[in-house]
Amino acid sequence: ETGVTQSPTHLIKTRGQQVTLRCSSQSGHNTVSWYQQALGQGPQFIFQYYREEENGRGNFPPRFSGLQFPNYSSELNVNALELDDSALYLCATRQDLQETQYFGPGTRLLVL
Amino acid sequence: SQQGEEDPQALSIQEGENATMNCSYKTSINNLQWYRQNSGRGLVHLILIRSNEREKHSGRLRVTLDTSKKSSSLLITASRAADTASYFCATDVLDSSYKLIFGSGTRLLVRP
């Protein structure tokens, strides 16, 4: 167990809807990253938050957005869902300047 | 886009045998990390090797890194059925962002 939790575990949405995924980190982990993992692929970096500010973004459109709260928990929001957004969404947390990231169990999103 | 290519894509061995997985990457790195994933769940951090290290051990795991060839290998000795999982290499690229770029993974099956 990494101490990182994500909710919900599974979610089914229809095309065009919006979704919010949540991540709670270990105590003291002030950096959170979100990854998208399509079936049979490795995870792809979406963005990273450090002390409530986005400080890195991968090749994802603006309809993918996030928030980090003062307690370092985080949300990933996806607007105007597309079928290709179906994937496992993983968050990973770490302490500032530490190299090791700790992953949550993921949220599996299915878009119909 | 994926930074790493992993080889083989799938590997099936008998319990007790050794398993070797290889990873190649494209850009300069701070470190390279190996993760394990069971049945599409969260990623478990196995081992981290820094760019100035050539070999590292952790229990039954041995990782090598060749920065001149931009490649790494993960050796699991005396494999067990519980080692059945997907294994991913991830590079922490040299841009101070701490984002990880993952390969496409090796699916390991250890037959009892």
If you measure CA to CA, which chain A residue comes closest to B91?
A: A99
For the segment B54-68, the average pLDDT, to the nearest whole number, is 97
- Reduced to 3 states (helix: H, G, I; strand: E, B; else coil), residue A27 is coil
**C-alpha dist (Å) from residue A109 to A88, A112, B97:** 6, 10, 27
- Reduced to 3 states (helix: H, G, I; strand: E, B; else coil), residue A84 is helix
Biggest CA pair distance of chain B:
43
Which residue in the set B2, B31, B41 is minimally distant from A105, CB to CB?
B41
- At B24 the pLDDT is 95
A102 in Cβ contact with A72 (< 8 Å): no
Q: Is B34 on the interface with A (CB under 8 A)?
A: no
- CA–CA separation, B14 and B108 (whole Å): 11
DSSP states of B27-94:
S-EEEEEEEEESTT--EEEEEEEETT-SEEEETTEEEEEETTTTEEEEEE-S--GGG-EEEEEEEEET
Q: What percent of chain B has pLDDT over 70?
A: 92
Q: CA dihedral in degrees (B64, A95, A51, A44; nearest 10)?
A: 30
Q: Is the pLDDT of residue B1 over 50?
A: no
Beta bridge partners of B101: B91
If you measure CA to CA, which chain A residue comes closest to B41?
A: A105
Which residue in the set B42, B101, B105 is minimally distant from A104, CB to CB?
B42
- At A91 the pLDDT is 96
Q: Is the pLDDT of residue A2 over 90?
A: no
Which residue in the set B31, B40, B104 is minimally distant from A99, CB to CB?
B31
B78 in Cβ contact with B14 (< 8 Å): no
CB contact under 8 A, A108 and B103: no
- At B3 the pLDDT is 61
User: Higher confidence at residue B61 or residue B2?
Assistant: B61
Nearest-CA neighbor of A40 among B22, B94, B86? B86
Instruction: Map tokens 């979704």 to a residue.
Output: A19
Digit-coded pLDDT (tens) for A65-112: 999 999 899 999 999 999 999 999 999 998 877 888 899 999 999 999
Give A 18-47 residues with CB within 8 A of chain B: 31, 33, 35, 39-45
- At B2 the pLDDT is 52
A20 is written with which tokens?
A: 């919010």
- At B97 the pLDDT is 66
**C-alpha dist (Å) from residue A108 to A11, B25, B31, B54, B103:** 6, 28, 29, 37, 20
Q: Is A58 on the interface with B (CB under 8 A)?
A: yes
A25 in Cβ contact with A73 (< 8 Å): yes
- At B84 the pLDDT is 97
- CA–CA separation, A45 and A34 (whole Å): 6
| Mean of the per-residue pLDDT values of chain B | 91
B64 in Cβ contact with B72 (< 8 Å): yes
